[in-house]
Structure 1
Amino acid sequence: MSAKERGQLVFLEGLKSCLDLLFGEEEKQSGQPSPLQFISESASDLKALFDFVRTSLTPTGSDSWKGPVLLVDDLSVLLSLGATPVAVLDFIHYCRVTVCYQLKGNIVALVHSNEDSEDEENELIVNSLCHHSDLILWVEGLATGFCKDVHGQVMHGRTRRGAEQDLVQIYQYKIQDKNVTFFARGLSAAVL
């Protein structure tokens, strides 16, 4: 909240914006088109969402964004709301150009994926992001099931899971109240 009050955080609450858009409250309140207006239109154009990102991250006057970060949680939801994979990929491309190249910042995006998934549109997004990303983190639960001291594992690397394992580093993690502890495989408190 303090970062938001200082102008260091701009947050688009997607669920509230969707409800406001569907019930006609958003445009009445702000006079601006909704960043999620593609939901109520026949075309799945994400231009309004990109315009929101661009205007939110572009410094104005005395503002000085040093290395802005765009967090997108979760790109898969855009597909569920009716955006086409091409529109989502175009949105990410334009965000990458604006945030990474013009403003010298970074983009962090969450996308759900499953090796057994039959959702071709989502897998297209995942494959494209993997191809264009500098860093990929695959987070998953333990294959062996529940463990009190280990909640899952993170695979860190440049390649997609299952490909060239020598380039991938694997860590395990435990989620605590306000913290997450990472450790090498086999070095959890249960083992030691």
Structure 2
Amino acid sequence: MAEITKALNLSWECLQQTCITVEEREHMDASFMILSLLNMFLKETGDNKESPSHVILVLFQNNFQHLNNIGMKLFMSLKSLVQSQKLTLLEMFSEESSVQDKFKSIHNSISSIQAKDKLIIFTNLNHLTYMGAPENDIFDFVHYVKNTLGEHTCVLHCTHNKQDNVVETLNNAIRHLSSYVIQVSNLKTGFCKEISGHINVSNKYKTYKKTHHFLFTSRGVNVFLPGGISTR
């Protein structure tokens, strides 16, 4: 998976202590991109034995098994990371607790983890809208993440939905607060056996913007520049 972030010219040096948006577009599953960032974090920060790095995976939808299945195809087991206490799961898909209570629980859990480097991944943030949470509370939650957890690296995962104004307004807010935006999209022209989709990477200051193609293969994911050829 290191080849994915390397091909996109993403380094831990640039991403640490930032917010990174991973946005799914055109019904494309971006799980492989989330896992690639997770893999890069563990590889780049895993040398500190006195204070080992730690991943916190915050789920707003019950999709851990799906993420683990994708990880296994990319030769990474999330279940093994949980068992080795390198990854903590925080399940936030209960509709009974308020957004404020959810954030308090997340913040307390993160604060209790003794690790110098922490990567916090929020999956399916859009799902807060489908859980019936008030719109203002959701936007407050996103700002809390940025302002309170800014000393850590956060990945904010969302899904593009142009037919839902609330979701799109939330996505705009997430992108605005992020230092990097990674958009993973299907091909608008339909199926192509040589290309599965494309990845757009840009930073907040608009000094970096790149588009790459990618191809799902039996051995993982190949990323290459438009006009290039995937190595299967």
Fold agreement, TM-score > 0.5: yes
> Any gaps of 5 or more consecutive residues in structure 1?
19-35, 39-44
- More strand per residue: 2
1:97 matched to which residue of 2?
A: 147
- Structure 2 regions of 5+ residues with no counterpart? 1-78
Partner residue, 2:154: 107
Q: Which residue of 1 aligns with 2:214?
A: 173
Q: Does 1:47 align with 2:47?
A: no
Q: Tell me which amino acid in the other structure corresponds to 1:105.
A: H
Matched, 1:81 2:131: yes
Q: Is the 8 A contact 1:85 1:124 kept in 2?
A: no
RMSD of aligned Cα (Å): 2.3
**Residue in structure 1 matched with residue 34 of structure 2 by the alignment:** none
Find out whether 1:124 has 2:169 as its counterpart: yes
Q: CA deviation at 1:6?
A: 3.2
Larger Rg: 1
Instruction: Give aligned-pair identity as a percent.
Output: 22
**3-state SS of 2:155 partner:** strand
Q: Does 1:37 align with 2:82?
A: no
Distance 2:102 2:216 in 1: 32
Deviations 1:109-128 (A, max 9, x none): 111114xx231111111111
Compared CA separation, residues 81 and 187, structure 1 to 2 (3 A): same
What residue number does 1:24 align with? none
After TM superposition, the score normalised by the length of structure 2 is: 0.59
Amino acid at match of 1:72: F
Structure 2 distance, partners of 1:98, 1:178, is: 39
What is the deviation of 1:142?
A: 1.0
Specify the SS of the correspondent of 1:156.
strand
Are the equivalent residues in 2 in contact too, given 1:152–1:174 (CA < 8 A)?
yes
Higher RCO (C-alpha 8 Å, min separation 6):
2
- The Cα offsets for residues 34-55 of structure 1, whole Å up to 9 and x where unpaired, read as xx533xxxxxx31221122112
Q: What is the one-letter code of the residue matched to 1:173?
A: F
What is the CA distance between 1:96 and its match in structure 2?
2.2
Kindly tell me the number of residue pairs found equivalent between the two proteins: 152
